[in-house]
Amino acid sequence: MSTPLDTGGDINVAIVDDDDVLRTEISSYLNKNGYTAHAAASATELDDVLSQIDIDIIILDVVIPGEDGLSVCRRIAQNRGPAVILLSGMGDEIDRIVGLEMGADDYIAKPCHPRELLARIRAVLRRRSEDYLQSSRRTKMLYKFSGFLLDISRRELKAPDGTIILLTEREFSVLGIFLSSPMTVLSRDELIESTYGPNSTMDDRAIDVLVGRLRRKLEASYDRPLIKTHRGAGYMFACDVSKA
């Protein structure tokens, strides 16, 4: 997940609703306001989106085909996933409380004006950004490896030549896992659990894609592979790592 600001930019929003018209209207409005919208009509389609794209926030209808929105919300919260705003045609206070207890960041009764939804999105992302900054201040740690410098508190990776390498939240997370266990083969299951959470439904392909993206970013600034593939076993971060 990109560091969330309230100005749109490279923020990815998943819109999950089986109402084609509403889904299209919301997606179009968010795209016009600088966000990148990704539409899904069910939990299955949402999981496909999440396996390919680092989503920052999910607009999730409570009533969708198959796995319902509340169950999806609970699963995403347990897996430390993106922020979630629930949409529901039921505006009862109890429904709102249940939604928030399931891990939703906000709850909006339908129908809602797109402008209100945009304001709620900005508020949730701003709140998450502030929480992240507070957490970062409590975590002071530097990792050094092969001329690279990873600053955990600033979530910043500096290449040997001093340039900053931009990482998504998932890329940052999996790099942290590698750095905490260098020269050790980590299975795909271990990486999935550490990156997506213990109850994740992500498959091996998701972690292969994620590791592949991270590997390309590192190798663009270094002359040899730092992440090695061990067929049938997993991946290994193949260099010495020190903490500062």
Of 147, 127, 155, whose CA–CA distance to 4 is shortest? 127
32 CB-side CA count, 13 A: 9
pTM of the model: 0.54
pLDDT at 199: 57
Contact 114, 25 (CB under 8 A): yes
Same fold, 12-135 and 142-243: no
CATH 3.40.50.720 fits 142-243, yes or no: no
Per-residue confidence of the chain (244 residues) as pLDDT tens digits? 333 333 344 689 999 999 999 999 999 999 999 899 999 999 999 999 998 888 989 999 988 999 988 899 988 887 778 889 998 876 555 666 777 777 888 888 888 888 889 988 888 887 766 554 455 444 457 899 999 999 887 778 999 999 999 888 788 888 988 998 899 999 998 888 777 666 566 778 888 888 999 999 999 988 889 999 998 899 999 999 998 6
> What is the DSSP secondary structure assignment for residue 153, as one 8-state letter?
T
pLDDT at 80: 74
The residues spanned by each domain of the chain are 12-135, 142-243
CATH numeric code, 12-135:
3.40.50.2300
pLDDT at 27: 94
Q: Where do the DSSP E strands lie in 125-226? A: 142-145, 148-151, 156-158, 164-165, 185-186
Helix (H) or strand (E) holding 80: none
Of 17, 61, 64, 13, whose CA–CA distance to 37 is shortest? 13
pLDDT at 7: 37
pLDDT at 3: 35
CA 189 – CA 3 distance, rounded (Å): 26
User: Which strands make up the sheet holding 234-237, listed edge to edge?
Assistant: 185-186, 234-237, 227-230
